[in-house]
């Protein structure tokens, strides 16, 4: 909060009676920050409220309107503030239980200095010593405390972000002094560059796994504590801690910590913790806790934690957490949590699906908000369309029907899928009193004809108790025998109206049916082609031994 007047932030604040020995506790707090294009002032207020942290600063000198992007998970507040202020001149320091924000005019100029002049070096010849700051204090109670901002009047005060009180600033409370360098300690574990032939056989020697390099060149096999810049290896690059930049290797890159940047290798890339950037390998990529990246490999990609981005693998992709991105592979994709989309040659399995799944064999998801395309599709719920030979939706359109018609007198149908698209598995039978000649012998009696069919359908809701079904089905008719080898296919288009009549979704339905019979059956007694079980038709033509008949019919039944 800001009050009128020419406000000058000229000193530090003393609050309560906390001793200086407790200063480090504030910065040791573990915090998680997730802000995108957010004003700096809003971020500071959010930290104050979420983690009970008290800041003291002047909005005249701290750029509270500067927009920042920060993604930090379970890190110390000290580290988080360094990242938050990395693009500004702001620095922080603890006094008592408060964090003082001040501006160092030389901060950005140092950051913009060319790298060779900015990188501290550690070597037996040119050691760099660590400065130690000592705080000398004069403790006096604040001259005045005002609990409500309305009582400020015209005096010059500054509100402490996240607090409930306002204090007058007095530059006599504290006095800071820097002592000279400690000759026994070094400040940095970083070097500008290193070159090695093998692990521990290079310019860093036995300290290879302790030092972070801005440029690392490994002729065959190299090991480093960390990389902030570029690492190039002929065969293998191995890093104990983190990589921030680019790693390129002929065979592999292995990182014990996190990767922020790009890993490219001929065989594989691995990271023990999160990856932010790109992993590209000839064989496979593996990341640890969290992946916000593009993973592309000839064989497979594995993310042990949550995945955000794109996985492209020749064989398969695996995300052990949620995969808030897309997976593409030649064989299969799996994600334990939600995923945006999956496409594979064999099968896909995920939790919630936000966009869609495509495979040749099987798709499995929980709550699917998009579509599924595959031979078999399985889900708990789906808001889009499941396109497959078999669609199983746990909370979908799953019905059993018994019906009659003029062609097949008794019919049983199983309908599985969603209202937008469902599959129909059908069996029907009819019986006729006939005389049949076979091998010169005439048989008289009741003969059965039966059919097996498959179809698809959709539902149009007409209110709470009624709906319309539109269905297409093809039924192979085994006519007057146990099985007919010749083409004898009954095709139907049905439009039925259903009314709910009882509990558990029981309904009665009825409607017209358009029939198209295609048959190559031949009757030697009459010398004609076509089925003999069809009723009166409005179209009957035979061409090249194939008979086509058309007629309209009717169906009615009960649905469960």
Q: In sequence order, what DSSP letters do the residues of 289-332 get, joined into one string?
A: SEEEEEEEESSEEEESSEEEEEEEESSEEEESS-EEEEEEESSE
**pLDDT digit string, tens, across residues 112-152:** 444 444 444 444 433 443 443 433 333 334 433 333 334 43
Please name which of 295, 352, 343 lies closest in space to residue 308, comparing C-alpha atoms: 295
DSSP 553: E
Instruction: Answer whether residue 369 is part of any domain.
Output: no
Place of tokens 């802000």: 35
Q: Look up the domain containing 457 and give its range.
A: 399-559
Same domain, 221 and 232: yes
3-state secondary structure labels for all residues of 443-492: EEEEEEEEEEEEEEEEEEECCCCEEEEEEEEEEEEECCCCCCCCCEEEEE
Q: How many C-beta atoms surround the C-beta of residue 275 within 10 A? A: 33
> pTM, whole model, 2 decimals?
0.62
Structure-block tokens of residue 322: 């949620």
Domain boundary among 338, 362, 386: 362
Residues 284-289: what's their mean pLDDT?
88
- Could you give phi then psi for residue 47, rounded to 5 degrees? -65, -45
Q: Are strands 316-319 and 332-335 parallel, antiparallel or unpaired?
A: parallel
Residues 43-53: what's their mean pLDDT?
83
Among 79-83, 115-119, 152-156, 548-552, the minimum mean pLDDT is found in 152-156
Cα separation of 410 and 126, whole Å?
A: 96
Instruction: Answer whether residue 491 is part of any domain.
Output: yes
CA distances from 44 to 52, 65, 101, 167 (A): 11, 11, 11, 18
**pLDDT digit string, tens, across residues 457-471:** 999 998 888 999 999
**pLDDT digit string, tens, across residues 472-523:** 999 999 998 899 999 999 999 999 999 998 777 799 999 999 999 999 999 8
Q: Which residues, other chains included, contact 226 with Cβ-Cβ below 8 Å and sequence gap of 6+?
A: 211, 212, 213, 239, 240, 241, 242, 243, 244, 257
Contact assessment for residue 520 and residue 486, using Cβ atoms and an 8 Å cutoff: yes
Q: Which residues, other chains included, contact 412 with Cβ-Cβ below 8 Å and sequence gap of 6+?
A: 400, 401, 402, 426, 427, 428
**pLDDT digit string, tens, across residues 327-383:** 999 999 999 888 999 999 999 999 999 999 999 999 999 999 999 999 999 999 999
* 195 or 55, higher pLDDT: 195
Same domain, 423 and 528: yes
Q: What pLDDT, on the 0 to 100 scale, is given for residue 107?
A: 66
Domain boundary among 188, 213, 242: 188
Contact assessment for residue 205 and residue 220, using Cβ atoms and an 8 Å cutoff: no
**pLDDT digit string, tens, across residues 238-262:** 999 999 999 999 999 999 999 999 9
Instruction: Answer whether residue 357 is part of any domain.
Output: yes
Contact assessment for residue 7 and residue 51, using Cβ atoms and an 8 Å cutoff: no
Instruction: Answer whether residue 210 is part of any domain.
Output: yes
Same domain, 262 and 180: no
Instruction: Answer whether residue 5 is part of any domain.
Output: yes
* 482 or 26, higher pLDDT: 482
Same domain, 437 and 547: yes
Contact assessment for residue 368 and residue 352, using Cβ atoms and an 8 Å cutoff: yes
Please name which of 398, 492, 393, 480 lies closest in space to residue 432, comparing C-alpha atoms: 480
Same domain, 495 and 529: yes
Reported as a pLDDT band with limits 50, 70 and 90, residue 108 is low
Total structural domains within the chain: 3
Instruction: Dihedral sign for Cα 133, 136, 139, 143, please.
Output: negative
Same domain, 177 and 200: no
Same domain, 312 and 358: yes
Instruction: Answer whether residue 148 is part of any domain.
Output: yes
153-186: b or e for each residue (b if 16 or more CB lie within 10 Å)?
A: eeeebbbbbbbeebbbbbeebbeeeeeeeeeeee
Same domain, 314 and 344: yes
Same domain, 16 and 86: yes
Contact assessment for residue 219 and residue 236, using Cβ atoms and an 8 Å cutoff: no
**pLDDT digit string, tens, across residues 303-335:** 888 888 899 999 999 988 777 889 999 999 999
Same domain, 61 and 81: yes
Instruction: Answer whether residue 286 is part of any domain.
Output: yes
3-state secondary structure labels for all residues of 438-455: ECCEEEEEEEEEEEEEEE
Same domain, 204 and 163: no
Domain boundary among 136, 170, 188: 188
Contact assessment for residue 348 and residue 357, using Cβ atoms and an 8 Å cutoff: yes
DSSP 181: P
Q: How big is the CA angle at 442 (ends 444 and 534), to the nearest 5 degrees?
A: 60
Instruction: Answer whether residue 374 is part of any domain.
Output: no
CA distances from 218 to 201, 211, 245, 535 (A): 10, 14, 16, 85
Q: What CATH number is associated with residue 142?
A: 3.55.50.30
Same domain, 450 and 418: yes
Cα separation of 281 and 178, whole Å?
A: 50
Cα separation of 182 and 184, whole Å?
A: 6
């Amino acid at each position: 909060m800001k009050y009128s007047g020419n406000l000058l932030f000229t000193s530090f604040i003393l609050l309560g009676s906390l001793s200086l020995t407790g200063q480090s506790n504030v910065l040791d707090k573990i915090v998680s920050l997730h802000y995108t294009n957010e004003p700096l002032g809003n971020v500071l207020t959010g930290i104050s409220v979420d983690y009970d942290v008290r800041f003291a600063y002047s909005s005249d000198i701290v750029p509270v309107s500067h927009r920042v992007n920060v993604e930090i998970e379970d890190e110390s507040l000290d580290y988080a503030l360094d990242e938050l202020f990395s693009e500004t001149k702001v620095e922080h320091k603890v006094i008592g239980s408060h964090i003082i924000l001040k501006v160092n005019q030389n901060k950005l100029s140092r950051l913009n200095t060319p790298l060779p002049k900015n990188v501290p070096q550690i070597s037996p010849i040119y050691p760099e010593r660590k400065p130690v700051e000592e705080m000398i204090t004069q403790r006096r109670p604040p001259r005045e405390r005002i609990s409500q901002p309305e009582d400020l009047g015209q005096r010059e005060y500054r509100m402490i972000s996240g607090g409930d009180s306002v204090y007058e600033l007095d530059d006599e409370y504290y006095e800071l002094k820097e002592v000279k360098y400690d000759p026994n300690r070094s400040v940095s574990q970083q070097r500008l560059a290193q070159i090695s032939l093998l692990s521990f056989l290079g310019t860093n020697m036995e300290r290879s796994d302790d030092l972070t390099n801005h440029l690392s060149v490994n002729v065959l096999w190299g090991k480093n504590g960390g990389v902030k810049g570029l690492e190039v290896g002929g065969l293998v690059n191995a890093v104990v801690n983190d990589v921030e930049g680019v790693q390129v290797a002929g065979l592999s890159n292995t990182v014990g910590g996190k990767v922020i940047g790009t890993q490219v290798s001929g065989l594989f890339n691995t990271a023990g913790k999160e990856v932010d950037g790109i992993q590209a390998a000839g064989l496979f990529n593996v990341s640890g806790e969290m992946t916000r990246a593009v993973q592309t490999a000839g064989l497979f990609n594995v993310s042990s934690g949550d995945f955000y981005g794109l996985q492209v693998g020749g064989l398969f992709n695996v995300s052990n957490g949620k995969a808030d991105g897309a997976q593409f592979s030649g064989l299969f994709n799996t994600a334990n949590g939600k995923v945006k989309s999956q496409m594979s040659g064999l099968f896909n399995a995920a939790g919630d699906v936000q966009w869609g799944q495509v495979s040749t064999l099987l798709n499995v998801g929980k709550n699917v908000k998009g579509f599924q395309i595959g031979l078999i599709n399985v889900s708990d719920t789906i808001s889009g369309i499941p396109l497959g030979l078999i669609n199983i939706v746990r909370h979908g359109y799953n019905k059993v029907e018994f019906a009659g018609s003029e062609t097949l007198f008794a019919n049983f149908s199983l309908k599985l899928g969603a209202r937008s698209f469902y599959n129909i598995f059908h069996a029907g039978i009819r019986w006729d009193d006939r005389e049949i000649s076979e091998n010169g012998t005439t048989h008289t009696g009741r003969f059965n004809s039966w059919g097996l069919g498959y179809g698809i359908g959709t539902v149009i809701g007409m209110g709470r108790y009624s709906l319309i079904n539109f269905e297409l089905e093809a039924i192979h008719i085994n006519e007057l025998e146990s099985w007919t080898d010749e083409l004898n296919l009954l095709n139907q288009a049905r439009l039925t109206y259903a009314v709910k009549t009882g509990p558990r979704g029981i309904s009665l339905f009825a409607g017209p049916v358009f029939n198209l019979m295609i048959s190559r059956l031949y009757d030697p007694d009459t010398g004609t082609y076509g089925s003999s079980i069809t009723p009166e038709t409005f179209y009957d033509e035979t061409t090249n031994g194939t008979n086509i008949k058309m007629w309209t019919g009717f169906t009615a039944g009960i649905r469960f």
